[in-house]
Amino acid sequence: MILDGKYIAQQIRAELREQVDALRAQGKRVPKLAVVIVGHNPASETYVANKIKACENVGIEAMKIAYTEDITENTLLTEIRRLNSDDSIDGFIVQLPLPEHIRESVILSAIDYRKDVDGLTPESMGRAIQGMDAFISATPKGIRELLARYSIPTEGKHVVVIGRSNIVGKPMAMLLMQRPYLSLPNMSASSLGDATVTVCHSKTRDLGAICRTADILIVAAGSPKLLTADMVKDGATVIDVGINRVDDASSPRGYRLVGDVDFENVAPKAAYITPVPGGVGPMTIVSLLQNTLQAYKCTKEKCTMYEG
């Protein structure tokens, strides 16, 4: 069965729109996201435009804050601190990469975890890993949501994660191994967890043998067709995080997008599998929208995030 990320993302957007509409109908302000961008990287400009469009599509207010390439680290830091304390902004993100003279770790570390809707700061990750309330970053959150929406249980299952990046592999592993914990409002997927988790990577020996023991495979290696059919147990769930460009003369663009999974041959063996594109990808941007609405709901009065 195909795990249709595009469809689920659409469904979630409709739910979010309904919730934001209800706020507006009650005469309340709507959630507001700020997106910080420095300089004019064309790819970054596109990503930012898409995020703002996705917000507006569900009624979330989105504000682009653009700085010129020559902003100093100190000035940017001051701006981050201003956003931290601006009560009219529920959450904000800093589009990466930043210019070379600005240290990303310094900027990210300065973001208040209660507004860190990208979930990328060390504190957000540390909190999530310790089972405290925190924003989860887009890809692991999107995958968790996808599993939840298709009612794929993780308790006692063997999950094999291929890839150990800070934004996918490590947080994904941590979320799936831990006890389901008390969640923030509206985190339907938070009860997933309790899995036995193995993290594999480029130094792993006999990857095939390990993968064949997996009930759920999450492949985030950035390597086209890394996961082949002989590495997959019958009835496994396969989540493909890869987005790779491969040359394709028959495509008008000269390339096509493929995942890290040999979809054609793996799909017949898998109980559930995500396509590329249309699987994990569409889920990541709704994660940001969900986090923003969550940040809006998380006020000093009623959110455990403000307890520590």
State which residue, 130 or 251, has the beta carbon closest to a second copy: 130
Nearer to a second copy, 66 or 132 (CB): 132
**Alpha-carbon gap, residue 119 to 86, rounded angstroms:** 19
CB of 109 to a second copy, least distance (A): 5
Distance of CA 37 to the CA centre of its chain: 19
Q: What's 221-238 look like in SS3?
A: CCCCCCECHHHCCCCCEE
Alpha-carbon distance of 137 to 206, in angstroms, equals: 30
Minimum CB–partner distance for residue 135 and a second copy (Å): 12
CB of 55 to a second copy, least distance (A): 26
The one-letter code for the residue type at 129 is I
- Structure tokens, 63: 């504000």
- Closest approach, Cβ 127 to a second copy, in A, equals 4
Nearer to a second copy, 134 or 258 (CB): 134
Binding site for a second copy (CB under 8 A): 103, 105-106, 108-109, 121-127, 129-132, 134, 155-156, 158, 164, 166, 170, 173-174, 177-179, 194-201, 203-205, 210, 307-308
Q: 4 vs 79, which CB is nearer to a second copy? A: 79
In this structure, what DSSP letter does residue 154 have? -
Contact at 8 Å (CB) between 192 and 154? Answer: yes
Q: Dmax of the chain from CA atoms? A: 59
Beta strands in 39-174 (DSSP E): 61-67, 91-94, 158-162
Residue 139: C-alpha distances to residues 19, 114, 206, 241, 248 (Å): 23, 19, 26, 8, 27
Residue found under tokens 């507004």:
115
Q: Which is nearer to a second copy, 16 or 177 (CB)?
A: 177
Question: What's the closest the beta carbon of residue 308 comes to a second copy, in angstroms?
Answer: 3
Residues designated as active site: 51, 95, 118
